[in-house]
Structure 1
Amino acid sequence: AIQGARIAGARRIIAVDMVESKLATAKEFGATHVVDASSRDAVQAVKDLTGGGVDYSFEAIGLKKTAEQSFECLGPGGVATIIGMIPFGTKIELDGWSFPQGEKRIQGSMMGSNRFRVDMPRYIEFYEQGRLKLDEMISVKGRLEDVNEAFRAMKAGEVARTVLMFD
């Protein structure tokens, strides 16, 4: 989401996380501001940085709390996109008055709402131009036998992306 916003020309890109190393990585990929949610109220921090809220927010973790925060940090007319896989059956709670009063919207996205025939050639072009950093996203490379450790590290939020090789 950060790279997409950068490539699209967003002037202000705010990354929110609780892991310091992930915030540093977010800056490398194009975040102009970072918020450490482990030490402050993330929604208030985003509103302070923007003077009232963002136009677009993207939730990529898949937690009830972060989905709700993604909506709460919107400014008037803002759109929250939920990318993270929230567990089946989980209900999120939103302030109903925010819809008519703030004209805010929330939507989901599966696999980036990719239109493969249109989007994939563009992604390849961005990668070849050096604008889309894919290699740098890989935190760990391992073997298929490392799958259990890879899942543990992913669930613990210790890695950005892991690639398991079939050797």
Structure 2
Amino acid sequence: MLRPATAADTDALVALTAGTGFFKPLELDTLREVLDDFHAANADLGHRCFVWDERDDLLGYVYHAPAPMTDRTWYLYWIAVDAARQGQGLGGKLLEFVEQDVRGQGGRLLLIETSSTPHYEPTRRFYRKYGYDQPATVPDFYADGDGLVVFSKRLLPPAE
């Protein structure tokens, strides 16, 4: 069942994220800060965080928010599924939920950023599978040899 995240979920979400094997310790520290800020103030600023909870077992989550200084552009900042549940469709359900939620908030464009390293090829393949374009890359963004890959998907038709 999908439900809004609570502050009590933070430790479990950080542990779930660490268990995927995709995130560095610095990124896990950042996630904790993001979740703390979300519960302290950013939820009131339109940030959204939801968890997939089955019988008090958190299996995945998403965190998305409006992009500042844009006309209805949103970012999907975090999406993760428990390592034991990957490849079973839960990530797709979470991504489709984000798209519907952003549309419901009047969002027109969804952006997602990830790494260019070979380790992240399954992640990039996942976004392409769900119809995301790759309009930009920035070589060596995160570190030498680790570039930024930007994915985008238009959620509302262009205004006439």
Question: What TM-score does the superposition give when structure 2 sets the normalisation length?
Answer: 0.29
Question: What TM-score does the superposition give when structure 1 sets the normalisation length?
Answer: 0.28
- Considering Cα pairs closer than 8 Å and 6+ residues apart, tell me whether 1 or 2 has the greater RCO: 2
Structure number with larger C-alpha Rg: 1
